[in-house]
Amino acid sequence: MFGLPNACVLKFDEEYHSLEDYHGRVARWCPGCGDNGILTAVQRLCRDEQLPPEKTVFVSGIGCAARFPHYMKTYGFHGLHGRALPTAQGIKIRRPDLNVFVNMGDGDCCSIGAGHWLHAIRMNMNMTALLHDNSIYGLTKKQASPTTPQGMITNTTPRGAQLKALNPLSVTLGVTNASFVAQAVEWLPDLLYDVIRQAHQHRGFAFVRIIQRCPHFMTEPFESLLANPDRLLLLKHENGMRISDVVGRMYKSQTEHDPADLNRARELVEDPDRVPIGVLYRNEAIPRYDELRRPQRIVSVDRRRAVLDEAFDSFGIFPQDPEETRAGSGGQSGDRENRGHR
Amino acid sequence: MQTVEAYNRGQRTDLQPEGPDAEGAPAEKVDEHIVEIISDSGEGAQTAGQMFATVSAKMGNGVWTVEIIPAEIEPPARSIEGASGNRVRLGASTISNSGDAADLVVAFNDQVLLGRLPAGEFKRGAIVLLESKWGDHADKRIAAEYASVVKRLRAEGYRPFEVPMEKECAQITEDAQRGKNMFVAGMLAYIYSRDVDLFRDQIATKFRKKGDVVVGVNIGMFEAGYLWARENMDVRFEIAARPVTEPQVVINGNTAVALGVVASGMDVCAMYPITPATSASHYLSDIFTSVGGVVHQAEDEIAACAFALGASYAGKCAVTITSGPGMALKTELMALSVMGEIPLVLIDVQRGGPSTGLPTKVEQGDLLAAIFGTPGDAPKIVMAPATIEDCFFSIITARKIAETFRTLVIVLTDANLATGQQAFRRPAFNEEWVAPPIDQTPIDEGHAPFDWDPRTGLSQRHIPGQPGGLYTLTGLSHTREGGVAYGPGVNQEGCRYRSLKIAAFQKTLKPPEIFGEPEGDVLIVGWGSTKGAIEEAVERAQGDGLKVSSLHLTFLQPMASGIREIMERFKQVITVEINYSDSLEDELIDEDNRRYANLAWLLRARYLMDIDCWSNVHGQPMKPGAIENMIRERIQWLRGQ
């Protein structure tokens, strides 16, 4: 405003955003669906961070999780199956002022959009990507996804899924330029909230895998993790997830893990017996594509004119002084009448 | 022996000026000539051809240049399909297409001629300047091949000149193979009485970054070629030139497209490498950052389109540049652009298809795919520039249409425009070309993101950052408010308004101008890069009193009003296109199963007229002579009726 940076302007009309201000349409997920808990955690985050709704965009693909933007009262882009990440990148490339969140299911991210996933990690643009991983295709009614446990009976694997499940965390931690990797489960809301909060505050591409249940089609690994809470390994660190006393007393399986330690993070996610919960890796020193490609200057119309003129000059032909017209352009007096359009 | 130093900067002054008293053969006056320079890949034939063309344009000749490009970077040497080079058509007046057959050919080896000879690329009696080193090659097979080609050329009435290019160049540089293109440029400068100083400037510009010695060596070889031709050749041509009276630019269609993107004020171009579109992004990458733009090379074609669409959704209209196979991959996102009413410009530099087809060759086979390729009803705007100049302006127009009508605009150029070079009037910058800044003003309370005007279907889009405009864009059937809704009336309403927008746009189009008389025997209808060739053919036939005219369509979807009235005034309407159509001469083909060329399908379906087509998929630019012959045959046939 009037050339002043926004931060210097006292906004008299600035309003406080309550939780309800982020409530969009009424969610139509099934009762018991893990997506409900994720929605609540994200709305809480928006309120606590006071994210301006008009400066916040939720981008999704297709699937149950992809309905997420409709249930937020912000801007949203409910696009195509698998294409949430490149769409979000396009949204962010010229809009550093926007808070960009991406909601993907396991089919969206790890199957049809897997190529984009790798490159989004490598590009490290500033956004928060939430993988709603319920290990099944829900919206299309129970087909195996890349993260479906081996042996699981689904409509496309009636004799059990043949392949071992893909590990989204080991993939993410293996990609060049991974800068924030975390894991949460939707049924521990405080931990989920804190992991998403840290992801949002990270400057770079923050990837959070959220293990969630699908009450209709996939109760694993939810049920076995609920039955064996010690399989959840809470990651403790002063730079990591906040663990309240109550949660700490309930989930005693904990380990000290420095999010700067990439090798340990890789080991933790490969442990077949434990499910690490918390911030696995964080590195804000990794360059961001949105920063690298940021315009170096504000471009005026005159500047654009100058650049075009320079380009035209480099390809230009200019009228010559007739006196200087050189040999070869001899027959200038040629018959103009005969010079039709060729 | 001339030393490098002798040439370096101390240019020879005894080459010019040429005048009536000049040494050498007397020059034969011609209106125009087509010159082809062909070599194996990487021997610099294209550089020599481009320099020759640029110098000619600067001297005031009409010029059209076409690249001859193999699909591989360095195919096996001396291979027939490996022919790489340049065709330059230069004339006393404006040249609008690559013409018919070549008058003079420079070949760096005998084999590259073999593909182009039977294709009718060389005029009978054409002069062929052939590198002679193969004649005494140690490999007897090669020497024999060379001898047989020279023999064949003579037998078929061509005029081969055996030129010791490399041998002559070896006196100046150790790397004679790489430098002989400048020797060739020198020969052409002599044969066509080109301005030697302009050539020297071009060479200096081209090699400036490599240092003075390299510049000197190349100028030296240029001069050696000039002198060799003067001493050894008895042919010489003079093509009158019109002095340049207004500033012009000489660029190819892909460069024009890139400059159009800059001029349009778009900020984001997302692409994935694909021939023959990529060079537009190369040039754009070079200059875009200086106007705050970004060329994003995405991980695939789909991501490129999604990235552009995301950028458009959150700001100014963005652009993605591709070719047919890439457009096929983008179709789902193209439909999302239509459904979500997100402006987007998609440039398809068409190549030969189907599938990967002919990557470096021209075709106009994507028209129907562009219009109808998206499943479901996805109305959009499809336009096709016809000239290099059009390539520049059509991007500016496309951006404006996309923003105004909240829609996808597809611009169809092709390999012929992409690599063809032509001089045209230097565009004068206009502030109105440039996209306005991103609107961040508050949206009025209660305004819906798809507040369709009942008559035009138009609505104001909401851009993230605008207070009061919150909504979630979706590719699902949605209401005015943007909410997902599957009710029977909802999808009908959305489809109706998106279609009405196209009608509203159509009402802004002017009827196309007819080339020639407004009535007659035959009307040729074309679109895209064939305009120059069609109009030249029509003009030639008109010159003989034949009643033929032509019509060239810029907007293919929707089409302007008034086309029917034009077509009805001719006995027969024929489209000329570079895409496949069935021939009625094939035994199985009849009117029940004949598949028509792309535009013919469209015209027949819309106007219920018996419109014929004449098309092929040789991967070559249309030759005016071939179109002219077709016109003559048709008119003769009509008269016999």
Question: B250-430 and B514-640 share one CATH topology?
Answer: yes
Residue A122 has pLDDT above 50, yes or no: yes
Q: Is B464 helix (H, G, I), strand (E, B) or coil?
A: coil
The DSSP element (H or E) to which B405 belongs, if any, is helix B388-405
CB atoms B248 and A317 under 8 Å: yes
Query: What three-state secondary structure class fits A261?
Result: coil
Helix (H) or strand (E) segment spanning residue B106: strand B102-107
Distance CA B488, CA B485 (A): 9
- Identify the bridge partners of residue B84 per DSSP, sorted by sequence position: B39
> What's residue A334's pLDDT?
33
Q: What is the mean pLDDT of residues A103-116?
A: 98
Fold for B514-640, please state it.
Rossmann fold (3.40.50)
Please answer yes or no on whether B310 and A88 come within 8 Å at the CB atom. yes
Residues of chain B positioned with their CB less than 8 A from the CB of A317: 57-58, 244, 247-250, 423
- A312 vs chain B: nearest CA distance in angstroms? 6
- pLDDT tens for B252-311 read 999 999 999 999 999 999 999 999 999 999 999 999 999 999 999 999 999 999 999 999
Q: What's the CATH fold of domain A16-286?
A: Rossmann fold (3.40.50)
User: Which tokens in the block code for residue A199?
Assistant: 């992801």
Residue whose token pair is 């909401």: B462
Partners of residue A325 in chain B, C-beta under 8 Å: 60, 243
Structure token pair of residue B272: 């994935």
For chain A, which residues make up each domain, given as ranges? Answer: 16-286
Instruction: Say yes or no to pLDDT of A12 above 80.
Output: no
Report pLDDT for A10.
Answer: 56
Distance from CA of B428 to the nearest CA of A (A): 9
Residues of chain B contacting A315 with CB distance shorter than 8 Å:
249-251, 255
Give the one of A76, A90, A338 whose C-beta lies nearest to B307's C-beta: A90
Query: Using an 8 Å Cβ cutoff, are B490 and B477 in contact?
Result: yes
With a pLDDT cut of 70, the percent of chain B lying above it is 96
Buried b (16+ CB within 10 A) or exposed e, B521-549: bbbbbbbbbbbbbbbbbbbbbbeeebbbb
- The nearest alpha carbon in chain A to B63 belongs to A342
Nearest CB neighbour to B469, from listed A54, A58, A305: A54
Q: What is the pLDDT of residue A7?
A: 55
Mean pLDDT of chain A: 91
Q: Provide the pLDDT for residue A341.
A: 34
Asked if B470's CB is within 8 angstroms of A73's CB, the reply is yes
Give residue-wise pLDDT tens across range B167-216: 999 988 888 777 899 999 999 999 999 999 999 999 998 898 999 999 99
Q: In the sheet where B408-414 sits, what is the strand order? A: B294-297, B268-271, B318-322, B344-350, B408-414, B381-383, B555-557
**A326 pLDDT band (50/70/90 cuts)?**
very low
Stretches where chain B sits below pLDDT 70 are: 1-24
A208 — contact with chain B (CB < 8 Å)?
Answer: no
B4-245, CATH topology level: Pyruvate-ferredoxin Oxidoreductase; domain 3 (3.40.920)
pLDDT of the residue at B393:
98
DSSP notation for A227-253: H-GGGEEEEE-TTS----HHHHHH---
**Alpha-carbon distance B177 to B78, whole Å?**
14
Of A3-12, A69-78, A271-280, the one with minimum mean pLDDT is A3-12
> Could you tell me the two tokens for A135?
């290990």
Could you tell me which chain B residue has the CA closest to the CA of A112?
A: B302
Six-digit token pair at B406? Answer: 């909240």
B116 CA to chain A: closest CA distance, Å? 24
- By C-alpha distance, the chain A residue nearest B434 is A301
pTM of the predicted structure, to 2 decimals: 0.93
3-state SS track over B114-162 = HHHCCCCCEEEEEEEEEECHHHHCCCHHHHHHHHHHHHHHHHCCCEEEE
Closest C-alpha to B107, from B91, B124, B126: B126
Chain segment A170-189, per-residue pLDDT in tens: 999 999 999 999 999 999 99
Are B313 and A87 inside 8 Å of each other by CB?
A: yes
In 3D space, the residue among B320, B239, B340 whose CA is nearest the CA of residue B278 turns out to be B320
Domains of chain B by residue range: 4-245, 250-430, 439-508, 514-640
Query: Which candidate from B57, B195, B251 shows the least CB-CB separation from A327?
Result: B195
Nearby residues of B349 by Cβ (< 8 Å), 6 or more positions away: B253, B254, B257, B276, B277, B280, B321, B322, B323, B413, B414, B415, B417, B418
pLDDT tens-digit profile of B375-402? 999 999 999 999 999 999 999 999 999 9
Spatial CA neighbour of B506 closest among B465, B428, B563 = B563
| pLDDT of A26 higher than 50 | yes
Q: What is the CA radius of gyration of chain B?
A: 27
Query: What does the pLDDT read at residue B3?
Result: 42
> How many angstroms away from the CA of B104 is the closest CA of chain A?
18
CA separation for the pair B454, B472 (Å, rounded): 22
Please judge whether A296 and B292 are an interchain contact, meaning their C-beta atoms are less than 8 angstroms apart.
Answer: yes
User: A173, exposed or middle or buried, with CB in 10 Å at 0-12, 13-18, 19+?
Assistant: buried
What is the third-level CATH fold of B250-430?
Rossmann fold (3.40.50)
How high is the pLDDT of residue A332?
Answer: 35
